[in-house]
Copies of this chain bind each other. A is one copy, B any other.
Amino acid sequence: MFEKLKRTKVFRDPLYGYIQVDYKIISDLIDSREVQRLRRIRQLSGVSMVFQTAEHTRFTHSLGAYQMANLVLQNVDGIEVLDEYKSIIFLCAALLHDVGHGPYSHAFESVMNLSHEEMTVKIILSPDTEINKILSQYENLATDIASVIAHDNRFPLLEALVSSQLDVDRMDYLSRDAYFTGAAYGHIDYYRILRSMKIVNNKLCVRASGVHSIESYLMSRYHMYFQVYYHPIARSYESLLENIYRRVNDLVAEGKKIDAPIEAFLKVINNNCDVESYIDLDDAYVNGFIKQFTKSSDDILRKLSLCLINRHLYRYIDLADDPDPEEIEAIKSKYSEDVLKYYYLESKVEGVAYSIYKKTNINDIKVLLPNGKIKSLEQYSPIVKSLSISSLKTVNRIYYLED
Give the B-binding residues of A (Cβ under 8 A).
10-15, 17-18, 31, 33, 36, 39-40, 48, 51-53, 55-57, 59-60, 63, 179-185, 187-189, 191-192, 195, 208, 212-213, 215-216, 219, 222-223, 226-227, 283-284, 287-288, 310-311, 321-322, 369-371, 382-383, 385-387, 389-391, 393
What's the nearest-Cβ distance from chain B to residue A335, in Å? 25
Identity of the chain B residue whose Cβ is nearest the Cβ of A33 in the assembled complex: B310
Which residues of chain B are near A11, meaning CB under 8 Å? Answer: 52
Please state if B14 and A53 are interface contacts (CB–CB under 8 Å): yes
Asked whether, in the complex, the Cβ of B370 is within 8 Å of the Cβ of A321, the reply is: yes
- Give which listed residue, B182, B189, B390, contacts A14 with CB less than 8 A: B182
With A212-B223, A226-B212 already in contact, the answer to whether A56 and B59 are too (CB < 8 A) is no
Q: Which single member of B48, B63, B386, B393 contacts A390 (CB below 8 Å)?
A: B386
Q: Which residues of B contact A55 (CB under 8 A)?
A: 39, 55-57, 60
- Does the CB pair A223–B227 fall under 8 Å? no
Report 13 cross-chain contacts, Cβ distance below 8 Å, ordered by A residue. A11-B52, A14-B179, A17-B182, A39-B48, A184-B192, A184-B216, A212-B226, A222-B383, A382-B391, A382-B393, A385-B390, A386-B386, A386-B389
CA distance A195 to B11 in the complex (A): 13
Q: How far is the CB of A40 from chain B (nearest CB, A)?
A: 7
State in angstroms the CA–CA spacing of A15 and B181 once bound together. 11
Chain B positions within 8 Å of A13 at CB level:
52-53, 182
| A321 and B385 in contact, given A53-B60, A183-B12, A187-B184 (Cβ under 8 angstroms) | no
Complex-state Cα separation, A390 to B227, whole angstroms: 24
Residues of B near A370 (CB, < 8 A) are: 321
Q: What CA separation (Å) do A60 and B385 show in the bound complex?
A: 38
Closest to A220 in B: B216
Contact B187 A321 (CB under 8 A): no
Partner of A284, one of B180, B183, B288, B386: B288
A143 to B101, CA, bound (A): 47
Apart from A36-B310, A216-B219, what are 13 other A-B pairs with CB-CB below 8 Å? A13-B53, A14-B179, A18-B191, A18-B195, A39-B48, A55-B57, A55-B60, A185-B189, A215-B219, A321-B371, A383-B390, A386-B386, A386-B390
Pair B40/A52 contact, Cβ less than 8 Å: no
A17 close to B53 (CB less than 8 A): no
Contacts of A14 in B (CB 8 A): 53, 179-182
Q: What residues on B are CB-neighbors of A310 within 8 Å?
A: 33, 36
| Partner among B48, B52, B56, B216 whose Cβ is within 8 Å of the Cβ of A53 | B56
A176 and chain B: residue at smallest CB distance? B53
User: A183 to B216, alpha carbons, bound, how many Å?
Assistant: 12
